[in-house]
A and B are shown apart, each in its own frame.
Chain A
Amino acid sequence: MIALYALYPIGCVLQLIADETATGAALRIAGLSLVVAAFAAFAVLAGSSLQRQTQEPETVLDERELADRNRAAYQAHSVFAGIVLLSLIYLMLRQDLSDNRNLDLWTPATGDHWNAIFWGAVMLAMTLPAAFLAFRKFHPDEDIEQ
């Protein structure tokens, strides 16, 4: 989970700051490796029982699982909405301060930038409910045969 949410943005930033020098090429490779690792973590989470719990029909889940899922969905919605709002505030400030030469804030400009943001948003939206379920699940390896 931490790999998913930390490696992807770090990998994207490394690729963003990479220039045309040899160091830049190394940064680009390192950044790409982190993004690939994040997608691997995403694939593991997508196949987990937690991710299934967020998508199963209600008839398959019992009352505790439904309550947990509803709570996780609410928390994920709140966090995602918060991130979207902060991003909009940032873009709005960037627009308002665009005449100020002393404060040159970064904005996505190329297709690659928007691609990175889009796939980051997709991963976040798809996995946040499962992430909150995982944070709440204290006993994942419980022996059910007891």
Chain B
Amino acid sequence: MSRKELAEAVGVNPQTIGYLERGDYAPSVELALKIAAVFSAPVEALFSLEPFPPLARTLTKQGDS
């Protein structure tokens, strides 16, 4: 899904999606829930107060367990 498609789906400017990806802007609860609904994912899977660990580390942990 492109930034433009996601932006249209949640009703924001495509640049705002870029700001969210880079962590330059913290979305409102409403926007976070809308984005989570687009991906059918829980909101905490997409947004966190702490930085997400690198994907490689997450996959390594899953492989170990």
- Which residues of A are in contact with B by a Cβ distance under 8 Å? 61-65, 67, 138-139, 142, 144-146
- Is B39 part of the contact surface with A, judged by Cβ < 8 Å? no
Count of chain B residues with a beta carbon within 8 Å of a chain A beta carbon: 18
- Which residues of B are in contact with A by a Cβ distance under 8 Å? 2-4, 7, 11-16, 18-19, 22, 24-25, 27-28, 31
Out of B2, B7, B14, B24, name the residue touching A138 (CB < 8 Å).
Answer: B24
SS class, residues of chain B in contact with chain A: helix
Rounded to whole angstroms, the CA-CA distance of A67 and B16 in the bound complex is 11
A139: chain B residues within 8 A (beta carbon): 15, 18-19, 22
Residue of A62, A64, A138, A146 with most partner-chain B CB within 10 A: A64
A144 to chain B, nearest CB (A): 4
B12: chain A residues within 8 A (beta carbon): 62-64
Out of A63, A138, A142, A146, name the residue touching B31 (CB < 8 Å).
Answer: A63
Contact present for A64 and B3 (CB under 8 Å): no
Rounded to whole angstroms, the CA-CA distance of A67 and B25 in the bound complex is 10
Contact present for B4 and A145 (CB under 8 Å): yes
Contact present for B2 and A64 (CB under 8 Å): no
Contact present for B16 and A145 (CB under 8 Å): no
B15: chain A residues within 8 A (beta carbon): 64, 139, 142, 144
Rounded to whole angstroms, the CA-CA distance of A92 and B3 in the bound complex is 55
Rounded to whole angstroms, the CA-CA distance of A144 and B31 in the bound complex is 19
A145: chain B residues within 8 A (beta carbon): 2-4
Residue of A139, A144, A145 with most partner-chain B CB within 10 A: A144
